[in-house]
A and B are shown apart, each in its own frame.
Chain A
Amino acid sequence: MFTLGGGYAMIPIIDREVVKKRSWLEQEEFMDILAIAQSAPGLLIVNISIFAGYRLRGKRGSVAATIGSCLPSFLIILAIALFFVGFKENIYVDKFFKGVRPVVVALIAVPVIDMIKKSNLNIFRALIAVATAAAIIWLKLSPIYILLTGAVLFFLSRWAGGLKREKGRSEKSDKQVDS
């Protein structure tokens, strides 16, 4: 409910409420949940809620926690949507949003730069990022296909690497047999 600024802003709040105040989870358990929530698709907070709810009360707990984490947003947005529908043609609302729209571009660009700084890209990875952006903007390619291609390539390289490793291992054992 009191999350402004997206997923990462919520982590200390969940930590304080769930771990420190109510001691529903151990600190270490929370760190584990965090690691898994970050590697599953979806929104971080929702993933944490699902996992934490499951740990505490099983399936029902995870349903309850998920609803709890989405319901306030849902209700607030619904109220705003209903409110703005009445003001669609309002000249002041129009002027307000004319000023807001360019700001939105900046608000999305800032996390991009933060992510670039955090993930210290090499030239190859930076090229992938640039190619992805170009393909989406100019070729109108869906990000879904790019993600799928990336995931397939990842598993292929993992599989190829696994084969190589196994081959290496069997060669090694052959040598051991020889000696």
Chain B
Amino acid sequence: MVFFELFYTFLIIGLFTFGGGYAMLSLIQNQIVVEKGWITAQQFTDIVAISQATPGPVGINSATYVGYMVPHNMGYSELSCIAGSVCATIAVVIPSFIIVLTICRLYNKFKNSGLFTSLMKNLRPVVIGMIAAAAGILITPENFFHYSSWLLLTGAFISCYFFKTNPIWVIVAGGVIGLLIY
């Protein structure tokens, strides 16, 4: 049953998202693209682009979209695809829900212990490595089929990093350049 598996996979993804939306992207990529092969690397790249250009948290956007695409790729009907996106979105927030509510209950204990904050700090290098790997895995021959792809990457990096351009405009600019030159 695909929905069951989808639900379980996103439950795991939600549970292990230490370090925000980009860490979640890395986990979705690993679980859905690499391990299960439910969507292609190229589809994942497009989903990330759309998730970043759309209002709302990147993690929720991409979970919803991936939840839609998995049944779609298997040839299910549109209604099943919508059910898939509902499954993925709910599953991805359930672990947060349980953990945050538990912390709420034990609020005063947690307030002073700092155990979790310290754990997070110590896992920081792993999270950085995870996100760097997510970017690295996207450098596939299909995504970089032409030397101009590398120019687009460099241009996007410079405008985002040095000029702090809003990601939406960088995505739109990349798309418009693509329309003009390919």
Binding site for B on A (CB under 8 A): 1-7, 10, 32, 35-47, 50-51, 54-55, 59, 62, 66, 69-70, 72-74, 76-78, 80-82, 84-85, 92, 95-113, 115-116, 119, 121, 125-126, 128-134, 136-137, 140, 142-144, 146-147, 150-151, 154-155, 158
Contact = CB atoms under 8 A, between A and B. Distances in A.
Contacts, number: 323
A116 B128 contact: yes
A83 to B, nearest CB: 10
A43 B46 contact: no
Given A92-B179, A101-B46, A129-B126, 4 more contacts: A37-B100, A76-B61, A104-B48, A132-B129
Interface in B140-182: 143-145, 149-150, 152-154, 156-157, 160-161, 166-168, 170-171, 173-179, 181-182
B156 A77 contact: no
Contact of B56 (A50, A76, A100): A76
B119 interface: yes
B168 A54 contact: no
B126 A97 contact: no
Interface size class on chain B is 35 or more
Interface class of chain A by DSSP: helix
A158 B122 CA distance: 11
B57 A46 contact: yes
Interface class of chain B by DSSP: helix
Contacts of B89: 70, 74
A119 to B, nearest CB: 5
Interface of B: 12, 14-18, 20-22, 24-27, 30-31, 34-35, 42, 45-46, 48-52, 54-61, 64-65, 68-69, 72, 78, 81-82, 85-86, 89, 92-93, 95-97, 99-101, 103-104, 107, 110-111, 115-120, 122-139, 143-145, 149-150, 152-154, 156-157, 160-161, 166-168, 170-171, 173-179, 181-182
Nearest to A121: B125
A44 B98 CA distance: 14
Given A78-B82, A119-B128, A142-B35, A47 B175 contact: no
A85 B129 CA distance: 34
Given A42-B17, A42-B99, A50-B101, A103 B136 contact: no
A146 to B, nearest CB: 6
